[in-house]
A and B are shown apart, each in its own frame.
Chain A
Amino acid sequence: MSQAEVTVGAHAGLMEEPTFSVPAKKMAMWLFIIADSATFAGCLVAYGFIRNATPNWPRPFHSITNVAIMTLILLTSSLTMLFGVTSAQKGDKAGAFRWTMITAVAGILFAILHIREWMGMIGEGATLFQNPWGTPLFSSLFFSITGLHLLHVTGGVIALIVVGLRYQGGRYKADDLEITGLYWHFVDLVWMFVVPLVYLLNLSH
């Protein structure tokens, strides 16, 4: 028996179980997700408060096509992320890398569609401080909330590419890919609330 084994054996009783049997890195991601969900909830509640307290709230959206495609892409990217994590857990390195990169491409596509939509609104005269449809608070809140989400998508795409490459290079393990996946699913989850509250409730009939 080596000295290291003797030392570990002697301290075995003193070593604590990880919280909820979750590894520390994964727990850190869960704590981040809880904190970030509070950030988004704060933004959406503030939006709801202002929308409720403002008479004649603008309803500038005429079509749901773009937002429907964006939703489809983001939901599908969550599925491809799951396939990537499952492949990694099975030891299929090439498959895991491929699915992770497909997820990143879906994220890039989502961001492009989002920016295209922003450009359309800016073209109609909407900025962070004014818009042609009524209260300037509408565009302030719209660009702030969707911008915060877009920032998360961009960060997620960068994380997916970096973690995917390092996983393929052998520096990261399947667990690291799973933790990045948790973040990506969270970005998808937030979008499920942004779509109805920010887009669909402001649809002109």
Chain B
Amino acid sequence: MTTGEDHKTSGVGKDLIVYFCLLALAGLQFLIAYQDISASQMFVRMLIVAVVEAALALLFFMHLWENRGLKWFVLIFTVAVILGMQYGWTDSYRLLDGAPWAK
């Protein structure tokens, strides 16, 4: 049986692990920046790492992991809004390359 004090101690240990994971992931982003790949490939890789970093920070640093209802509330609202913003990407390609989808 664990006491409240044990829980707090293990909580600090968990925070340290998450912190070092975040540092490693941030380092990975810097390594990707020096890879000899196209800008779009670099963008996708960096974005995936950033999403993993954000998920770790949200779940463990902001303690969203401990509240199931709030976790889904935040996730659904935020993801829905961010996904809704993606409607304009095709237009940015149209500006760059003409109107490929208008043909």
Residues of A bordering B, CB below 8 Å: 20-22, 30, 33-34, 37-38, 41-42, 45, 48-50, 52-55, 64, 68, 71-72, 75-76, 78-79, 82-83, 86, 89-90, 182, 185-186, 188-189, 192-193, 195-197, 200-201, 203, 205
User: Can you name 10 extra interface pairs (CB under 8 A) apart from A45-B88, A83-B12, A192-B57?
Assistant: A21-B67, A75-B19, A75-B23, A79-B16, A86-B15, A182-B62, A189-B53, A192-B50, A192-B54, A196-B32
Q: Which chain A residues border B26 with CB–CB below 8 Å?
A: 71-72, 75, 192, 195
In the complex, what's the smallest C-beta–C-beta distance from A85 to chain B, in angstroms? 9
B30 nearest CB neighbor, chain A only: A64
8 pairs of A and B residues whose beta carbons are closest in the complex: A196-B46, A53-B95, A200-B33, A20-B69, A53-B92, A20-B70, A52-B92, A192-B53
The interface residues of chain B lying within 8 Å CB-to-CB of A30 are 70, 74
Interface SS, A side: helix
Quote the shortest CB–CB distance from A27 to chain B (angstroms): 8
Q: Please give, as numbers and ranges, the residues of chain B lying within 8 Å of A72 by CB-CB distance.
A: 23, 26
Are A201 and B69 interface neighbours, CB within 8 A? no
Name the CB-closest residue of B to A61: B33
CB contact between A86 and one of B12, B43, B47, B89 (< 8 Å): that residue? B12
Q: Are the CB atoms of B11 and A196 closer together than 8 Å?
A: no
Partner of B8, one of A34, A71, A86, A188: A86
Report if A205-B34 is in contact (Cβ < 8 Å); known contacts: A21-B69, A189-B58.
Answer: yes
Instruction: Type the 1/0 row for B25-61, where 1 means its CB is closer than 8 Å to any CB of A.
Output: 0100110111000010011001101100110011001
Contact between chains at B49 and A196 (CB < 8 Å): yes
- Using Cβ atoms and an 8 Å threshold, which residues of chain A touch B33? 64, 196, 200-201, 203
Task: Tell me, yes or no, whether B96 is within 8 Å of chain A by CB.
Answer: yes
Question: Are A34 and B77 in contact (CB-based, < 8 A)?
Answer: yes
User: How many B residues touch A, CB cutoff 8 Å?
Assistant: 45
Q: Which of A45, A64, A76 has the most CB of B within 10 A?
A: A45
CA distance A50 to B42 in the complex (A): 17
Residues of chain B within 8 A (CB-CB) of A64 are 30, 33
A189 touches B43 (CB 8 A): no
Question: In the complex, A79 Cα to B92 Cα: how many Å?
Answer: 39
B73 interface hit (Cβ, 8 Å) = yes
A201 contacts across to B, CB distance below 8 A:
33, 39, 42-43, 46
- Docked complex Cα distance between A154 and B62 (Å): 20
Whole-angstrom distance between the alpha carbons of A200 and B69 in the complex? 36
Return the chain B residue nearest A72 by Cβ: B23
Residues in B with CB closer than 8 Å to A33 are 74
Taken together as a complex, chains A and B put the C-alpha atoms of A203 and B35 apart, in Å, by: 11
User: In the bound complex, how far is the Cα of B39 from the Cα of A64, in angstroms?
Assistant: 17
> Which chain A residues border B85 with CB–CB below 8 Å?
41-42, 45
Residues of chain A contacted by B95 (CB below 8 angstroms): 53
Q: B15's closest neighbor in chain A, by CB?
A: A82
